[in-house]
Chains A and B, each alone.
Chain A
Amino acid sequence: MKYDIIVVGAGHAGCEAALASARMGKKTLLVTININNIADMPCNPSIGGSAKGIVVREIDALGGEMGRNADKTLLQIKMLNRSKGPAVRSLRSQADKVTYKKEMLKTLENTENLEILESIVADLMVENNKIKGIITEDGKMLYCDACILTTGTYLKADILVGDKRTPEGPHGEKRSNFLSDNLAKLGFKLLRLKTGTPPRIERSSIDFSELSREDGDDEELTFSFDDIAYYDYKNQVPCYLTYTNEKTHKIIMDNLNKSAMYGGFYEHLGTGPRYCPSIEDKVVRFKDKERHQLFLEPESLYYDDIYLQGFSTSMPHDVQVDMVHSLKGLEHAKILRYAYAIEYDAIDPLQLKPSLETKVIENLFTAGQINGTSGYEEAAGQGIIAGINAVLKLNNKEPLILSRSDAYIGVLIDDLVTKGTIEPYRLLTSRAEFRLLLRSDNADLRLSKKGYDVGLLPKERYDKLLNKKREISELEEEIKTITFPQEKCNLSEYLKRPEVKIIDYKDRFSKKYSKEVLEQVEINHKYEGYIAKAKKEAEKMIRLGKKQIPDDIDYSKVDNLATEARQKLEKIRPRTIDQATRISGVNPSDIAILMVYLKRYYNE
């Protein structure tokens, strides 16, 4: 069998990659270990969150599926950081783990050009450093022009609980035994990473009566710019909040030597994420904290598991029981699934181009946790870009590369391919320099044209955007004509005052504008000064981004470069001066030297 594009792995990255590829007209095969686990959420039952919610909006703006799929399966949704500025607001939802998978499978099955195969990929067929196809564990050979690896945490995965190490994938799934070794043989440098998940508690065994309740927002919200609400905002499922206490901390400290992470059972352990520490990490590292927050999040309406957010651990089962029982409201809780840590292989993302094509094998792309990231949204964001770029590559077109001032997805990929990572990489708002430009509310304005131009975003969605743009300019003009004689100004100026809200003047407009249009105009005026500053700073970066570094540059010929800088530049081979400035170990003086060299290079 021959396909245009084969996607290996059907998690959040794989689904977006396969959908982008098929929707852009390529004959696509999606290979998964277990068809019932497509678009699974093996960890928290949540889509979105700080920065991540904006990524979901970006995926949607480009023509991806995650936002729409989350909208269809919402249990609860809220806007984070409402009290702060518009730049840092971001949607966070609880999604139903059962319907999320179902809806995604339905979408995949209804997509033209897309086939699904249940199998495990063992090896790649490569000729002259170019991908030719895949070989499954049962020996089937499938041919393709491009391949996208989105294997998640399955490569040689080990589950760690106490002193037990079991070779299997998330919640007992089969792992991929051979693919990562074969990747190493092809020349990929592998990383060993680790992450963890907390225990799941039976809903009926929890006493919620004394726990504080966390509700969704009291208004209709959606991730997708389709603006279709599938849920009833008056009927959302609540989360609850509890805390660790002195007793919990004592149990942890007393049993620390039994934890997979602290017990010293293994000579080498994969590197875990700093920002998502296990509960034993938190207790050990922040000794002075009397308590830590834990959220109780519903996983689904179709089964009873409650996810104990903030309580991930690698303690043995009996200690986990004691730990859970020490928590308020969980004194008699029944653990349905125990917490565990998982270790897996990933590839060093410095071996990737910004298009997510590997530098090692032509037409081979990778996306998601295999690239060292963590999080559903980060995976999906890479997946859609890998899918788009695999198609563009086969069509002999320039890749779609989002810059750091275009999108969080741009920040994510640039960080990966420029700085690499040694721990599972999570997107944070603080990673984005120009986040005032990368807002949740303007993701469509930033990206929909790009999604449409590459042939992924459907025309009706693009028309919708054009219409929004038109209305924004109309309203911009109109507010100049609405005057406040007493204040000696028009609404356009009046809006700059913090207390003035555009919605209060909607009756004076010639027509009814949507709340999105009103919001854009209000933000543009209220934050005009700040936006101008952010744009000015971004332009510096864009200017340096236009200074290309030739592909064939020989760094050994650039005099005076520091040794470390020379090695790093040689390894990463940045495309532009801008990218080079972000490589750690490359100092400003190295950049200056490189610029001098390039001036000569171009002049000669």
Chain B
Amino acid sequence: MNDTIVAISTALGEGAISIIRVSGDDAIKIVKGIFKGKDLNKVDSHTINYGHIVYKDEIIDEVLVSVMKAPKTYTKEDVIEINTHGSVAVVNKIMEILLLSGCRLAEPGEFTKRAFLNGRIDLTEAEGVMDLINSETELTRKMAVNELSGKVSKLITDLREKIVALISNIEVNIDYPEYEDIEVVTIDRIKTEVKEMKEELTNILKLSEDGKILKDGIKTVILGKPNVGKSSLLNALLEEDKAIVTDVKGTTRDIVEGSIIVGGVKLNLIDTAGVRKSSDVVEKIGIEKSLSLIEEAELILLVLDSSEELTEEDKFLLDKTKDKKRIVIMNKDDLKNNNKYNEDVIRISAKTNQGIDLVKEKIKELFNANAFLNKNLTYFTNVRQITLLKQAIESLNDAYQGVLNNSEIDMIEIDLKLAWERLGDIIGANYTEELIDNLFSRFCLGK
């Protein structure tokens, strides 16, 4: 029923040991066929067995083979892990033999897909694994681990229980209207509880939106008049981290041209051309375009010249970015200090690298990155979850509004139920069409 898949589950060529993982109905049978040692069919589940991989009478490697029988395994199928000596050649050889013996090369995330489909993990956990596989930075890796640990599910489950307690009390009042034995839910109780839940979810949403920006990369634009040192700043940020500017494929809009990793945080640079050519942003691309860039950006690095007075152009840019998350950078601090602008500004010299660390710290500070890196925060990181979260908050807002409007208690309950449903959708507790769409898109089920 389930074909048997194989993949190398450690990074190839690194470390002393490589692990090859096999999962599926024939996992034990296939490995048994190339293993010389104990009879793998007869060994207990969850044991490690010493022996050799042998192919056509030739000993390929000395190995330890872990046998884990269904259902208590990651995929709920029979799983075998072969611990081999790390050489790339040996690992590749064993892979080749396994493929010849009836295994199929696993698609990315396929072990997780099976774990989900076999009911071992829920949707948020599965999404966490997918994110983990795709994570590029330490930060996103931590976020994924957080999801995977089930903290997110736990939080949602707890909130849903709170709502259910409230709903069921209301229901009892409806079904047994003539009985005074049962505590009657008061509007005040609903008001207090809904307000608390609303606030809790709104905090999570705020955190999640920061988290999502951090995960996807911060859309950043570097602004400044010609020759103010935009490209030197970019190079200083780059050199410091030995990061590379790469084209980002498949990003939603074309304006993101490359990304750099600064202090563990990914910045997606918008309109690097404007920066690289050190051209006059406003004149070159037009006021409208520059305004739309500012609109689009999640972070603005606005570079001023320490050696000159503020120009009209500087003032224009300062004014247009005042409501955005921005860092005003006074470059050329090593030269004369003629610029009187003094509000919350970081003084640097891109040439001498002076102050670059401060810029990086400031970026992290603006997006709470340190909190995400160091603390155990609970939040969502993908669009599906954040959208549902917003809908749940909206329903709680409606319920709260209902309380204020003196609506009947059973009407208010409709909104409470909707909030409960949407939270359930987040953790995959309900079957929805979105769920299957999600499965198709993330796990390539249709193929």
Contacts and interface: CB of A to CB of B under 8 A. Distances in A.
Interface string B402-436: 00011111110011011001000000111111011
Contacts of A429: 171, 174-175
Contacts, number: 102
A430 interface: yes
B177 interface: yes
Interface stretch (A382-390, A403-411, A529-537): A529-537
Given A544-B431, A589-B117, 6 more contacts: A292-B181, A533-B415, A540-B433, A588-B429, A590-B119, A596-B439
Contacts of A436: 411, 414
B171 A84 contact: no
B168 interface: yes
Interface in A83-97: 83-85, 87-88
Interface string A592-604: 1101100100000
A340 to B, nearest CB: 23
Contacts of B123: 588-589
Interface of B: 1-2, 114, 116-119, 123, 168, 171-172, 174-181, 405-411, 414-415, 417-418, 421, 428-433, 435-436, 439, 445-446
B445 A596 contact: yes
7 contacts: A51-B175, A85-B407, A85-B409, A530-B414, A537-B421, A540-B432, A588-B429
Contacts of B407: 85, 498
Contact of B411 (A80, A530, A560): A530
A591 interface: yes
B142 to A, nearest CB: 27
Interface string A400-441: 000000000000000000000000000011100101100000
A527 B402 CA distance: 11
A429 B168 CA distance: 11
B411 A587 contact: no
Interface in A449-502: 498
Interface of A: 50-51, 80-81, 83-85, 87-88, 214, 286, 289, 292-293, 295, 428-430, 433, 435-436, 498, 527, 530, 533-534, 537, 540, 543-544, 559-560, 562, 581, 587-593, 595-596, 599
Contacts of B172: 430
Given A430-B175, A559-B1, A562-B119, A533 B436 contact: no
**Top 9 closest pairs, chain A to chain B, by CB:** A85-B408, A430-B171, A588-B431, A591-B431, A85-B410, A560-B117, A88-B174, A50-B175, A581-B431
B410 A87 contact: yes
Nearest to B428: A588
Contacts of B406: 498
Contacts of A498: 405-407
A83 B180 CA distance: 15
A599 B405 CA distance: 47
Contacts of B431: 544, 581, 588, 591-592
Given A84-B174, A430-B171, A589 B414 contact: no
A50 B179 CA distance: 12
Contacts of A534: 414
A280 to B, nearest CB: 16
Contacts of A591: 431
A498 B415 CA distance: 18
Nearest to A559: B1
Contacts of A88: 174, 410
Contacts of B433: 540, 543
Given A293-B179, A429-B171, A559-B2, A593 B410 contact: no
B435 A588 contact: yes
Of listed B116, B119, B405, B428, residue having the most chain A CB within 10 A = B119
Contact of B430 (A81, A588, A595, A599): A588
A191 to B, nearest CB: 24
B414 A533 contact: yes
Given A85-B411, A88-B410, A533-B418, A589 B428 contact: yes
A559 B118 CA distance: 10
Contacts of A81: 174, 177, 410
Given A560-B2, A593-B117, A430 B174 contact: yes
Contacts of B114: 560
Contacts of B179: 293
A203 B114 CA distance: 69
Contacts of A599: 446
A87 B431 CA distance: 26
Contacts of B409: 84-85
A348 B430 CA distance: 27
B119 A587 contact: yes
A527 B411 contact: yes
